[in-house]
Every structure is written in structure tokens, then in C-alpha cells.
Amino acid sequence: MRIQDLHHRLAELGALPLHSGRILRAWLQGRPLDSGRRNQQAQDFLPLAVREALPQLVRELDGLVRLRSEHPGADGSARLLVELSDGQMVESVLLPRDGLCVSSQVGCAVGCVFCMTGKSGLLRQLGSAEIVAQVALARRFRPVKKVVFMGMGEPAHNLDNVLEAIDLLGSEGNIGHKNLVFSTVGDPRVFERLPQERVKPALALSLHSTRADLRRELLPKAPPIDPAELVELGERYARTVGYPIQYQWTLLAGINDGQEELDGILRLLKGKYAVMNLIPYNSLEADDYRRPASERIVEMVRYLHSRGVLTKVRNSAGQDVEGGCGQLRARAVELVNT
């Protein structure tokens, strides 16, 4: 289901934009305007045909996602295993400080070598209402004031649905525009579409290497855009919206933690409106990758920081419950309720 279809259905019943806005706002706040018990005053404000259709609509919205299990982490995060109406599974992660990481696809076609989601390939897209429903579901547990599109999927490969979800969250969902974070490997369509949107999200770009050849190896199906060009496009967007680009760099020992890469980062990011997030690799299953030693990570941060690139280590939340970056996937049934 798409948000757009909901608007059309409501308009056909005689709802004005302010009526649809109120219905969707109530859903997003976890207080749906359903059948008469609650929000009587708010319902009275709606046309009769809309009031009569509400119970069915609320049932449909409630049925978009279902919580299969919750896995709290020691750091205050929690991985939520979420079932869609056709039985497919995605994962959302409640983050510390009122954040939520949502999924935009079941699986992913990019196939980054360090990511579990990419291993299954793309199974299907999520509709915009299914993306927003993850926020409505999470708000049953705690407030959500920031939404990052860094869960399962490449948001740029489901652009219309993700932008529709962002528009609703930024207009009726009580979330500041810079607290909506669109994360991408760098699809050129993102740089055309985002500046034209009413709600302009913050942008996170997955860089991972400053070498075009290595980046192609690590992100095999990402658009073949040169890292320097990607940074230039990012810089233009950052200056347009007024908040910095967050660069993502999954740290892989012996692969992208050397001096050559540090110099490359300085060359590309010095003087740019940017934050570099170094994300130590979250190993999940026996594989060829490991994270650098903590001393090396500290050295890298100091080196970049002291030369003018704002650098942070992002130990991703929820690693102990496999909710960290690169650890999300459509889990097999045997993991449910573990």
C-alpha cells in the first residue's frame, strides 16, 4: 500500500487534505481515529462517509506490519523482527536517544560484501505505508524523533516509496527534516530528486573506500560513480539543505584502514561540509573480514580529526542482538523468539 493511494481513497470519500492529514497523524502517533471509542471529537470533524470507512481503514493500516519478536540490546537499542502482511520479514532497530532505523526493501540488490542483507538479493520492495508503519509500530514502545533509512535495503532502489514515507514523516509525523536520514551507496537519481522534495532529509553516503576499484569490489552492484564525484554531489546537496553529509565507512582490517585511504579521505573531505563515521565491522558469521584493532581505530580518528575532517567512531547500536549495521536480514524462522 502506498500513502498516495490512501490519500486518493480518502479524497474519493469526500475527505479534504486536512482530514487525511489528521487521520494519518493520529495513526503515526499510535492513536488511530477508529470506531467511536476514542477521539470522538476528532471523528465528528470528518465527513460521514469517511467516518464510516474508518474502522476498515484502521484495520488495514494495523495489518500492514506485525511484531514477531523483540530483541533488546544492552545499549538501550532493540531489534524488532517485523512481519509484513504477505509473511515476508524485515527488521527495524530502536536506537538509543529516540531513534529508529527502518527497512525499505526485503533484501537488497547491491550485495555489499560486508552486509548480511545483501546476501539474499532483493526479494521485494516495501510500499511507503509499510515503511511508515514501522514508525507507528515503534512508537508503541517509545517515542521516535529520528528515523534513519539504514535498515534492510538500498533506499535509492525504492525511491518513490521512500520519498513518500519521508514526506509524510516530515509533515505529519512530527519529525524534524534533518532527523530523517536517507542513506545510499550513491545513486545519481538521489541527487536529482532530493533537492526538489518538500521534505529534504539529511543524507548519509556509503563511501567505504576512496579508491574506485576497491569500492567496486566492496559494493559490487552500486552505481559505478567515482568517489570524488560522489563527494562533489554530496557537497552540493549539503550546501543546499544546510546540514552536513554523513559519510559511512565500514572499517575492514587490512582492506580500508591503511595510510593510503586516510590520505584519500583528507583529499576528498577536507574543507567539505561533512562528518566521517567510521563503523568498525560487525562480524556475524565466519567470514573473511574483521575489524581493525581498537588502537588503530583511535589512531585513524586522531589523524583525520587533527587534519580538519570531523570524524566519529560509530559503534553501531544493537550489535549484541545482531541489530548493528550490516547485520540485518530477513531472518529464518528458527531465529524468531530467540
Catalytic residue among 52, 192, 325, 334: 325
The yes or no reply on residue 203 touching ligand SF4 (CB under 6 A) is no
Alpha-carbon distance values, 318 to 101, 136, 205, 324 (Å): 11, 20, 21, 5
CB of 185 to ligand SF4, least distance (A): 5
Cell of 46: 470528518
CB atoms inside a 10 Å sphere around CB 115: 22
Residues 335, 328: Cα–Cα separation, whole Å: 12
Say whether 311 sits in a helix, a strand or coil. Answer: strand
* Sites for ligand SF4 among residues 217-246 (CB under 6 A): none
The three-state secondary structure class of 309 is coil
Query: Closest separation between CB of residue 328 and ligand SF4, Å?
Result: 7
Nearer residue to ligand SF4 within complex by CB, 65 or 115: 115
Of the two residues 324 and 326, which places its CB atom closer to ligand SF4 in the complex? 326
Tell me how far apart the alpha carbons of residues 187 and 154 are, in angstroms, rounded to a whole number: 9
- Considering CB under 6 A, how many residues would be counted as binding ligand SF4? 12
Cα(235)–Cα(242) distance, rounded to whole angstroms? 10
Active-site residue flag, 197:
no
Least Å distance between CB 206 and ligand SF4? 7
- Rounded to the nearest whole angstrom, what is the least distance from the CB of residue 107 to ligand SF4 in the complex? 8
Amino acid at site 267: R
Nearer of residues 106 and 133 to ligand SF4, judged by Cβ: 106
If one asks whether residue 185 binds ligand SF4 (CB under 6 A), the answer comes out as yes
- Provide the terminal-to-terminal Cα distance of the chain, rounded to the nearest Å: 30
Site string for ligand SF4, 314-333 (x = CB under 6 A): ------------x-------
| Among 73, 99, 153, 227, interactor with ligand SF4 by CB under 6 A | 153
CA distance 14 to 48: 9
Compare residues 117 and 256 and give the one whose CB is closer to ligand SF4: 117
Count of CA atoms in the C-beta half-sphere (13 A) of 312: 9
Name residues contacting ligand SF4, limited to 133-152 (CB under 6 A).
152
| Rounded CA separation 301/51 (Å) | 57
Q: How far apart are CA 282 and CA 201, in angstroms?
A: 26
Q: Which of 91, 154, 187, 257 binds ligand SF4 (CB under 6 A)?
A: 154
Looking at the Cβ atoms of 14 and 188, the one nearer to ligand SF4 is: 188
Least distance (Å) from ligand SF4 to the CB of residue 154?
A: 4
x/- track of binding to ligand SF4 for residues 100-119 (CB under 6 A): --------x-xxx--x-xx-
CB 57 to ligand SF4: min, Å? 32
302 exposure class (CB count in 10 Å sphere: 0-12, 13-18, 19+)? exposed
101 in active site? no
- Note whether 187 and 155 are within 8 A (CB): no
Contact 189, 159 (CB under 8 A): yes
Cα(14)–Cα(296) distance, rounded to whole angstroms? 62
Determine the residue with CB nearest ligand SF4: 118
Residue in 91, 154, 164, 235 annotated catalytic: 91
Identify which of residues 176 and 220 has a Cβ nearer to ligand SF4 in the complex: 220
112 vs 300, beta carbon nearer ligand SF4: 112
Nearest-angstrom CA–CA distance, 176 and 242: 13
Residues 40-69, interacting with ligand SF4 (CB under 6 A): none
List active site positions. 91, 325
Provide the binding-site residues for ligand SF4, judged by CB under 6 A.
108, 110-112, 115, 117-118, 152-154, 185, 326
